[in-house]
Homo-oligomer: A and B are copies of this chain.
Amino acid sequence: MASSNVQRLARAAENSAEKSAEPADTKSRILDAAEELFMEHGFEATSLRLITTAAAVNLAAVNYHFGSKEELFQAVLTRRLDPMNRDRMQLLSSYEAAAGGKPLTCEKILAAMFIPAMKLARDHEQGGKNFLRLLGRAYADPAPFIREFLSNQYSEMIARFRTAFSNALPHVPREELSWRLHYVMGALSYTLAGADVLKVFGQYHLDEATNDELLLRRLAPFLAAGLRAPIPAEDDGYLQFQEA
């Protein structure tokens, strides 16, 4: 029969998975394939036919289970972004409770942001790493539906950490702190998005071997020092425009 051929393909795709733990569930298989392919080629450049072929499911399965390509993309993000941000806020709360009213250090707050991200990266062996790179790319995607989605997904967590940093850095004005948090998110997302940019710096000898703890153990001191930096005076002229 014609269908047995497709079923063989499906089982072959299943067995070729890293840990042979790939679920037979169609929905999950689509999510896994979409996560990897969206990460690799971006949203627009990834066709549904590419995804459904990689997942060894029928083309129409995406529209049946998710409704549309955009909703599939949101499902890919929310599957792991939602628990991660929940973990971040829980971890921050537990740190605050342990500190007993005293403000946390910047390093501690940054740890509450980073640890859930790293836990995600190691939990699902290949999936986690892919997801963080996908997330870093979604930050820079111009598509309105992506920007809206991320904004909604992050607003609660960001507000929570903003006040934590505000307590940790009472000498930093509110507006200045907003900018610095912006820089923190930029550096973090760049680092999580993968080693692509490192090639620009000629640092290919670090790539896969460097584990995530080490990676962020470097990032946290860098960012903490920046967050604590003295506020620049109004008349600091070192950045004035001048021709060479």
Contacts and interface: CB of A to CB of B under 8 A. Distances in A.
A118 B150 CA distance: 28
Interface in A5-29: none
Interface stretch (A52-60, A63-71, A74-82, A218-226): A218-226
Given A186-B191, A217-B239, A221-B230, 18 more contacts: A40-B142, A41-B142, A42-B44, A90-B244, A105-B238, A107-B239, A111-B239, A137-B142, A155-B202, A162-B201, A175-B206, A176-B218, A179-B215, A183-B219, A183-B222, A186-B197, A213-B240, A225-B229
Interface residues of A, number: 87
Given A87-B244, A140-B140, A187-B183, A196 B119 contact: no
B238 A111 contact: yes
Shortest beta-carbon contacts, A-B, top 3: A186-B190, A44-B44, A225-B229
B118 A241 contact: yes
Contacts of A196: 147
19 contacts: A42-B143, A43-B44, A45-B142, A45-B143, A87-B244, A114-B239, A137-B140, A137-B141, A151-B200, A158-B201, A175-B206, A176-B218, A179-B218, A183-B190, A183-B222, A186-B191, A221-B229, A221-B230, A224-B229
